[in-house]
Amino acid sequence: MRHYLTVGDLSPEQLRAVVSRAVALRDGAAPGRAEGAIATIFYENSTRTRLSFQQAGALLGLRTLSIAVEGSSIQKGESVEDTLRTVAALGARVAAVRSPWSLLLQDLRDLPIQLVNAGDGWSQHPTQAIGDCAAAQREFGEIRGRTLCILGDILHSRVARSNAQAFSMLGARVLLAGPPTLLPGGLADALGATEVSIEEGLRQADVCMVLRLQRERQERGYLPSVEEYRRLWGLTARRAQLLPAHGVILHPGPQNRGVEIDGEVVTGPQSRIAEQITCGVYGRAAILEAMLDAH
Ligand code: CP
């Protein structure tokens, strides 16, 4: 595999192998070794993804060349293509790119550098999906037969799209719950998922994935107010009691505490959010190993 731009770049068997490898690395298996450098090129802000690519690269022995818009020649108008050609010339074998532009990397596949999508617009966040599947597999041993309920702002969420696809490929049932303006008709079908009420989704969930309310992407008319969103769609401490006793809570972060999720739920006994972040490092290490053929 030269590039990893969408979950669909992996077959179900390849995805299963990468997720299992991520779990093994998380549990102490020795990482493969790779030469050279990874470039992290971020046109959007990020904490978890950027740092976990750096951590994953370090596990494999890769140096990191890190670029953000601030302080780089991107601010002078350098194109994405020229930026990628530059980091390749500086020694990067692979570039992890985060951008607000859906499908940005699809047209850049012929450049002399391997590409991994670190989140593009509303489209995909395929390395997030590997880490999240690894967190669920560590919890339950097997994803097949489990139920994932994704809750909240589905419309704007690349995490929802990638996770619905990845969990389905691994044999899970995927439920979606959210306000009608943020879960428009047809989207559940397009994602191979079933639309349910929030109560129904929580009662059936082995894994409840709460999405960040993407306030920066809201246009007028999606929501009456943030307070209304919390009341109707937030994972409040009271509503979290609907989850089965064995059910676990994930959130890709960053959280709007007191909006889509209560602070005490983030740190409560059913939360696996910290483990999810850790698995994100090993998920990225596993996909980089596969891409770079690191042994
Ligand atoms: N989950 C995620 O993409 O978080 P960051 O935006 O902090 O990278």
Q: Is the CB of 127 under 6 A from ligand 1?
A: no
Cα–ligand 1 centroid distance for 134 (angstroms): 17
The set of residues, in sequence order, having a beta carbon less than 8 Å from that of 141 and lying 6+ positions away, is: none
Look at the alpha carbons of 23, 24, 27, 29 in this order and tell me if their dihedral is positive or negative: negative
Contact 67, 83 (CB under 8 A): yes
The set of residues, in sequence order, having a beta carbon less than 8 Å from that of 40 and lying 6+ positions away, is: 50, 53, 54, 64, 65, 66, 67, 95, 96, 118
The tokens for 189 are 């079908």
The tokens for 124 are 């995909």
> Could you give the domains of the chain?
7-126+277-292 (3.40.50.1370), 135-272 (3.40.50.1370)
Q: Is the CB of 46 under 6 A from ligand 1?
A: yes
pLDDT score at 268: 98
Cα–ligand 1 centroid distance for 194 (angstroms): 26
Cα–ligand 1 centroid distance for 46 (angstroms): 5
Q: Is the CB of 255 under 6 A from ligand 1?
A: no
Residue 285 binned pLDDT confidence (cut-offs 50, 70, 90): very high
Arithmetic mean of pLDDT, 156-181 = 96
171: closest CA among 6, 15, 4?
15
d(CA 239, CA 73): 47
Query: For the whole model, what pTM was predicted?
Result: 0.96
Residues 175-189 have pLDDT tens digits of 999 999 999 889 999
Contact 261, 240 (CB under 8 A): no
Torsion of CA 6, 12, 15, 21, to 10 degrees: 180
Residues 103-160 have pLDDT tens digits of 999 999 999 999 999 999 999 999 999 999 999 999 999 999 999 999 999 999 999 9
Select from 44, 49, 158 the residue to mutate for testing ligand 1; criterion: most ligand atoms less than 8 Å from CB: 49
Cα–ligand 1 centroid distance for 145 (angstroms): 28
Arithmetic mean of pLDDT, 62-85 = 92
Ligand 1 atom at minimal distance to the Cα of residue 52: 8
Arithmetic mean of pLDDT, 71-83 = 92
Arithmetic mean of pLDDT, 36-49 = 96
pLDDT score at 218: 65
Q: Is the CB of 52 under 6 A from ligand 1?
A: no
Q: Is the CB of 119 under 6 A from ligand 1?
A: yes
Arithmetic mean of pLDDT, 243-266 = 97
Judged by phi (left if over 0) then psi (alpha if -120 to 50, else beta), residue 263 lies in: alpha
d(CA 78, CA 88): 15
Residues 78-104 have pLDDT tens digits of 999 999 999 999 999 999 999 999 999
Neighbours of 247 (CB within 10 A): 19
Select from 40, 44, 47, 52 the residue to mutate for testing ligand 1; criterion: most ligand atoms less than 8 Å from CB: 47
Ligand 1 atom at minimal distance to the Cα of residue 47: 7
Q: Is the CB of 216 under 6 A from ligand 1?
A: no
pLDDT score at 217: 63
The set of residues, in sequence order, having a beta carbon less than 8 Å from that of 45 and lying 6+ positions away, is: none
d(CA 123, CA 191): 12
188: closest CA among 161, 214, 210, 167?
161
Measured between alpha carbons, how far apart are the two ends of the chain, in Å?
Answer: 15
Q: Which residue has the tokens 């670190």?
A: 118
pLDDT score at 102: 92
Residues 201-253 have pLDDT tens digits of 999 999 999 999 987 766 667 887 889 999 999 999 999 999 999 999 999 99
d(CA 129, CA 82): 29
Cα–ligand 1 centroid distance for 144 (angstroms): 26
pLDDT score at 70: 84
In this structure, which residue's CA is closest to atom 6 in ligand 1? 46
Q: Phi and psi at residue 211, in whole multiples of 5°?
A: -95, 145
Ligand 1 atom at minimal distance to the Cα of residue 252: 1
Q: Is the CB of 128 under 6 A from ligand 1?
A: yes
pLDDT score at 1: 87
pLDDT at 57 over 80: yes
pLDDT score at 220: 65
